[in-house]
Amino acid sequence: MADVVLVNPIIPSWYTEVLEVHPEKDWLKPPVGSPPLGLLYIAAYLVSRGYKVKVLDIMRKKIKKSEFIGFLEQEQPKIVGLVVFSEATVSVFEFCSSAKEWNPNVITVLGGPHVTFMDEETLQHEAVDIIVRGEGELSMAELADYFLQQRGSLNEIKGITYKMNTGKDVEIVRNPGRPYIKELDQLPFPLRTAIDMEEYPMPGTIITSRGCPGSCIFCAAGAISGGRYRTRGIDNVILEIEEMRRIFKIDYITVVDDTFTAFPERTRAFCHYYNKSNSGFAWGCESRVDDVSRELLTLMVESGCDAIQFGVESGVQSVLYSIRKNITVEQIEVAVRWAREAGIRFIACSFIIGHHSDTHDTVRQTLEFAKHLRDSYGVTPFFGMCTPYPGTYLYRNREKLGVTIYSKGWDTHQLIYSNISTKYLTRQDIQRWYYKASELFRDDIKKIENIRLRRSKHKSQSPNIIV
């Protein structure tokens, strides 16, 4: 029995649209290989407040509607919480409807990046009761207090938007926002024991900070975290890594922060701990080319780092300026060269095709630049298509920037599906360039995926406890 069931829903089109149209391109399937840390943070916080929680990661393990309803019948939760990314909205609505079909009195609560910005639109769906905007831990706990212990009142819970029945009609109420959690070290570690860690090809992920100091126009990282970048103490991060290694026998750690190297001093502290403790795990992270130095990259390699991913986005300076990436093409090349010379084994660079300022010519130049990075420095380039997600500058200013969004729903609103046209490129142009890029670097992407999977193998002792 559970007080709260938390669900990570499936993104249907990842498994249908692209694969049905291009079945030979099964390598385009995005890896859904890591635990849903956001949900596991909320699960941990609820458990610390005395609630019983179960987590259902349907992204990893598909289930039928009847099985979902059967699960709810068995657990009898009062609250069903779902995390919502734009492309999962359609399936989230189906899960909410199924939950209401099981029991019309169950409370459906949605959180995550999409609904943080599209709360009122999402609440138009009859099966959705409450939206949690921004960080979910405290709001979910207060919702559990209210619905399970009859403590407090809905209108006092910060950061939620909900429906209120006035007798005549249904009103949408938007409570004031919740301040962001300042002391991330006070949060309990994600409740990894609530899932079967053995099911994940990349189980060793960790979040050491929230937000990003960058202001790229296509990215919602800044808006989601209220424009603030907050970090955990390195001691606290290490404690979590030690716990993961002890319980799940994980020997590879992937830091999934947007930019792990944003504060080089902090990265150095992490490396020094590693060297002092002789910990022996290997690790990888995401970074920005303007956050690294030759000295830092060398220290990272000496401290077990064997993989780094730089968000590069374009190989053309005017495009980089137009998307406010605040880096130069020269910086990209220098950072990649330093990383190679430092001895980082896997260097990946992510690119986006179809920026509002991209033309056929700039995309062609970007592909040439990606080839140059691969041939000169062994970089693996990979690509996504420009997608104006809610919360981004690009989404808010799409008309001014000449961007048209096609799909009326959100399910095709994702990096592997062309959903926009720009002043210079049609929707089909963007899709064609994406396929061309994917074909061009097919073997490189495959190679890195295989390496990733091989090195992520672990002997999990996950007891599969569901709290």
The CB-of-286 to ligand SF4 minimum distance in angstroms stands at: 8
The CB-of-352 to ligand SF4 minimum distance in angstroms stands at: 9
Residue type, 361: D
Which lies closer to ligand SF4 via its Cβ, residue 393 or residue 434? 393
**Rounded distance, CA 314 to CA 332, Å?**
10
CA dist 298 to 257, 267, 270, 271, Å? 20, 12, 14, 10
**Residues whose CB is less than 8 angstroms from the CB of residue 251 and which lie 6 or more positions away in sequence, other chains included:** 204, 245, 280, 281, 282, 458
* Residue 208 interacts with ligand SF4 (CB under 6 A): yes or no: no
The CB-of-261 to ligand SF4 minimum distance in angstroms stands at: 11
* Residue 72 interacts with ligand SF4 (CB under 6 A): yes or no: no
* Residue 225 interacts with ligand SF4 (CB under 6 A): yes or no: no
* Residue 135 interacts with ligand SF4 (CB under 6 A): yes or no: no
Contact pick of 46, 55, 221, 394 for ligand SF4 (by CB under 6 A): 221
Stretch that binds ligand SF4, among 79-87, 106-114, 215-223, 407-415 (CB under 6 A): 215-223
**Rounded distance, CA 303 to CA 274, Å?**
6
Residue type, 278: N
CA angle in degrees (0–180, nearest 5) for 295-298-300: 110
Which lies closer to ligand SF4 via its Cβ, residue 259 or residue 418? 259
Stretch that binds ligand SF4, among 68-76, 209-217, 296-304, 396-404 (CB under 6 A): 209-217
Which lies closer to ligand SF4 via its Cβ, residue 109 or residue 212? 212
The CB-of-159 to ligand SF4 minimum distance in angstroms stands at: 22
Q: Count of CB atoms within 10 A of residue 61's CB?
A: 12
Q: Which helix (H) or strand (E) holds 53?
A: strand 53-57
Structure tokens at 180: 């962001």
Q: Which residues of 21-45 are buried (b: 16+ CB within 10 A; e: fewer)?
A: eeeeeeebeeebbbbbbbbbbbbbb
Number of residues this chain uses to bind ligand SF4 (CB under 6 A) = 10
Contact pick of 58, 83, 216, 308 for ligand SF4 (by CB under 6 A): 216
Contact present, 388 and 405 (Cβ < 8 Å): yes
Residue type, 249: K
The CB-of-202 to ligand SF4 minimum distance in angstroms stands at: 19
* Residue 210 interacts with ligand SF4 (CB under 6 A): yes or no: no
Which lies closer to ligand SF4 via its Cβ, residue 10 or residue 296? 296
**DSSP-derived 3-state class of residue 205:** strand
The CB-of-212 to ligand SF4 minimum distance in angstroms stands at: 3
Short-list 1, 8, 149, CA closest to 75 = 1
The CB-of-219 to ligand SF4 minimum distance in angstroms stands at: 3
The CB-of-264 to ligand SF4 minimum distance in angstroms stands at: 15
Contact pick of 184, 194, 212, 342 for ligand SF4 (by CB under 6 A): 212
The CB-of-390 to ligand SF4 minimum distance in angstroms stands at: 14
Look up tokens 């033309």; give the residue.
359
* Residue 288 interacts with ligand SF4 (CB under 6 A): yes or no: yes
Stretch that binds ligand SF4, among 23-31, 51-59, 214-222, 425-433 (CB under 6 A): 214-222
Contact pick of 219, 241, 300, 394 for ligand SF4 (by CB under 6 A): 219
* Residue 4 interacts with ligand SF4 (CB under 6 A): yes or no: no
* Residue 214 interacts with ligand SF4 (CB under 6 A): yes or no: yes
Contact present, 140 and 171 (Cβ < 8 Å): no
The CB-of-259 to ligand SF4 minimum distance in angstroms stands at: 6
* Residue 284 interacts with ligand SF4 (CB under 6 A): yes or no: no
* Residue 75 interacts with ligand SF4 (CB under 6 A): yes or no: no
Helices within 261-316 (DSSP H only) = 264-277, 294-302
Contact pick of 222, 284, 315, 384 for ligand SF4 (by CB under 6 A): 222
Q: What is the DSSP string of 207-260?
A: --EES-S---TT--HHHHTTT--EE--HHHHHHHHHHHHHHH---EEEE--S-T
**Rounded distance, CA 421 to CA 132, Å?**
32
Contact pick of 13, 208, 259, 387 for ligand SF4 (by CB under 6 A): 259
The CB-of-260 to ligand SF4 minimum distance in angstroms stands at: 11
Which lies closer to ligand SF4 via its Cβ, residue 287 or residue 462? 287
Contact present, 223 and 391 (Cβ < 8 Å): yes
Contact present, 155 and 175 (Cβ < 8 Å): yes
x-or-dash pattern for ligand SF4, window 292-331, by CB under 6 A? -------------------x--------------------
Short-list 43, 107, 48, CA closest to 78 = 107
Structure tokens at 80: 């069903």
Which lies closer to ligand SF4 via its Cβ, residue 222 or residue 381? 222
Residues in touch with ligand SF4 (CB under 6 A): 212, 214, 216, 219, 221-222, 258-259, 288, 311
